[in-house]
Structure 1
Amino acid sequence: MIKIGDGVTTLLQLDGKIVAAEQGNLFVTSFHPELDQDLTVHQYFIKKVNR
């Protein structure tokens, strides 16, 4: 069973494991999105910063 704290939002799961989450102004990943050609994570981050 995976437990997350109050106010934590799971953004991405892979094989039932949380690999990206956020709480308030904190954003965490368990991988390196800069090593991939997919810019989805970067675009999400930029939208959050520009609010």
Structure 2
Amino acid sequence: MAVAIANNLVTGFPPPQPASAIAAVTNADGLVTVTPAFSAPRRWSSSAVASL
């Protein structure tokens, strides 16, 4: 599906697979979307670096 989406972005013409997914989302009564939450890596404090 990722390749089909990329091709759609480049050419502007959706192949059948993304076209059916777009139709399903467009015709849905509701849509729940989820995204992962990433936390930034912890930085070393100056006291931790000084102790090395």
Query: What TM-score does the superposition give when structure 2 sets the normalisation length?
Result: 0.32
Answer with 1 or 2: which has the greater Rg.
2
Of Structure 1 and Structure 2, the greater strand share is in 1
Give TM-score scaled by structure 1 length.
0.32
